[in-house]
Amino acid sequence: MTATDRRRSVVPPYLLRAVAAAAEHPRAASAARTALAEMSAVAAPKHEHRVRPQGVTGTVDRSPQRTIADAHGSTSLPGTVVRREGDPDSGDAATDEAYAGLGATHAFWLDVFGRVSIDGAGLPLDATVHYGQDYDNAYWDGQRMVFGDGDDEVFRRFTVALDVIGHELAHGVTQYTADLTYEGQSGALNESVSDVFGSLVAQHAAGQTADQASWLIGEGLFTDAVQGVALRSMRAPGTAYDDPVLGKDPQPATMADYVETTEDSGGVHLNSGIPNRAFFLAATAIGGYAWQGAGAVWWDALTAAETTAGIDFAGFARVTVDAAAGRFGAGSTQHAAVEDAWRTVGVLTAP
């Protein structure tokens, strides 16, 4: 298996297709067509489950061990190393934003869950910036983070959004834990878990409570030419953008609007809005710092033996409900909040 076989991109193909058809943004349209062609060329197996370390034994370096490389506009990886762990700022915005974002993500996992890097065993964090020409995406390829510079018509550079960095590295965490099959509902859960922990990375870095957070994914990526605030909204899926050129955010918020499709590995970026909203509802109902409440429950569920690679929404919902009871007590506020959240989005029915 090559690294690109596990590519997980933050911009969904349905949005790239809309950009690719935008005659009003010719530079962006060309960049989006290139990004779509590259995604289509990646023959990604849906699943290859492997046993992954869940704890650390012995002496492990708990520092991030970051290495940032520059592709200089090419698509050859990894590129030229331009900054290593402990080096001072390079003066290049993308390089330094990637370095800081990897550090903030590493700090989140270590401080909140005692997890040393994304594999739990001190895996070095590698990233490549300035990938491709006007490349309209960021992705995790199974080994490293890769960031495009955007096209400056629709998208800005992809290192500007900390939650995007957290999102992509969370794909690595999922790879090393439940390894959720990237198709259908388990694939939508894979994407949702990345949105959840990507948002929590940003909240943790900013010291925000659940009520203070924006719950937007990719906030700041759109240029001023786009009528929209982010790629996705966890608070209100389907409302992140509504642009006369790009169209309206198509994410459903409840199972009543679940999208049956063969595109995008069975709608993994579309239907992730449903578990995303469930997490938002649970987190805000519990209150306080979301990583201490709903985030802790989702982490327990992601690492639970009951969370199989092909688990569906209802199965994962039940695991989170059990996890909330196990962590906070059956009948607790947290337990009730998690169960009510899944009922509100139509995944669980009333008893």
State the DSSP string of 30-89: HHHHHHHHHHHH----S--------S--S----S--EEEEE-TT---SS-EEEEETTPPP
Query: Which residue reads 């900054």 in tokens?
Result: 83
User: Residue 2 has what DSSP assignment?
Assistant: -
Active site residue 168: yes
Active site residue 171: no
Cβ atoms of 68 and 83 closer than 8 Å: yes
Report the alpha-carbon distance of residue 147 to residue 163 in Å, rounded: 13
Write the single-letter amino acid at 246: L
* Selected catalytic residue, list 25, 106, 269, 335: 269
* Selected catalytic residue, list 25, 106, 153, 168: 168
Cβ atoms of 46 and 180 closer than 8 Å: no
User: Residue 217 has what DSSP assignment?
Assistant: E
Report the alpha-carbon distance of residue 329 to residue 306 in Å, rounded: 19
Report the alpha-carbon distance of residue 331 to residue 318 in Å, rounded: 15
> Residue 327: is it exposed, middle or buried by C-beta count within 10 angstroms (0-12/13-18/19+)?
middle
The residues that bridge with 83 in the sheet, in sequence order, are 68
User: Residue 6 has what DSSP assignment?
Assistant: G
Element (H, E) at 20: helix 13-20
Token pair in block for residue 241: 């953008």
Catalytic center residues: 168, 269
